[in-house]
C-alpha cells in the first residue's frame, strides 16, 4: 500500500457542485499539505496542517477549505467548483523530526470541472 493515498484518482464534476478530495497517510507524519498543479506549471500550496488542531492557508486558498480529521487524514473541499479549479491535486506529508526533511507525495487526483 502507498504511504500517501489520495482518492479519487480522477473526478469530473459540474460547475457549482461541492466536491471533496481525500488524503490518508501511513507515514505517521504530523504535517500534511495540499498542492495544486496546472499544466506546465509547478506545484502551488493550497493549505497545510502541522497537526490535528492546526490549519493554515497557503498561497492559493481562495475557493478551497480543508479538514484534518485525524493525524492520518486531511481532506480538501471545493465548496462550489468552478472550471478554473480544473487541475492535478497532490497531497503530501512531512516529518520535521527526521534529519531529512523530505516530503512524501501521493499519486495525485486529477479533477476536471465542466
Partner 1 sequence: DAKTTQPPSMDCAEGRAANLPCNHSTISGNEYVYWYRQIHSQGPQYIIHGLKNNETNEMASLIITEDRKSSTLILPHATLRDTAVYYCIVRDQTGANNLFFGTGTRLTVIP
Q: Which residues bind partner 1 (CB under 8 A)?
A: 4, 31, 33, 35, 40-45, 48, 50, 56, 58, 88, 90, 92, 94, 96, 100-108, 110
Closest to partner 1 by CB, 15 vs 107, is: 107
* Min dist. Cβ of residue 28 to partner 1 (A): 17
Q: Tell me whether residue 42 or residue 84 sits nearer to partner 1 (CB atom).
A: 42
- 4-21 CB burial, b ≥16 within 10 A, e <16: bbbeeeebebeeeeebeb
The rounded Cα 7 to chain-centroid distance in angstroms is: 10
Rounded CA separation 75/65 (Å): 8
- Minimum CB separation of residue 41 from partner 1 in Å reads 6
Cβ nearer to partner 1, comparing 66 with 106: 106
Give me the DSSP letters along 65-85.
Answer: EEEEEETTEEEEEESS--GGG
Amino acid at each position: 500500500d502507498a504511504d500517501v493515498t489520495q482518492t479519487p484518482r480522477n473526478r469530473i464534476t459540474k460547475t457549482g457542485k461541492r466536491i471533496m478530495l481525500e488524503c490518508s497517510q501511513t507515514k505517521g507524519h504530523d504535517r500534511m499539505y495540499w498542492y495544486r498543479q496546472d499544466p506546465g506549471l509547478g506545484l502551488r500550496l493550497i493549505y497545510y496542517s502541522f497537526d490535528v488542531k492546526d490549519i493554515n492557508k497557503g498561497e492559493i486558498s481562495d475557493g478551497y477549505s480543508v479538514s484534518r480529521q485525524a493525524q492520518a487524514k486531511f481532506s480538501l473541499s471545493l465548496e462550489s467548483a468552478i472550471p478554473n479549479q480544473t487541475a492535478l491535486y497532490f497531497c503530501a506529508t512531512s516529518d520535521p523530526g527526521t534529519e531529512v526533511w523530505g516530503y512524501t507525495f501521493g499519486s495525485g487526483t486529477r479533477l476536471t470541472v465542466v
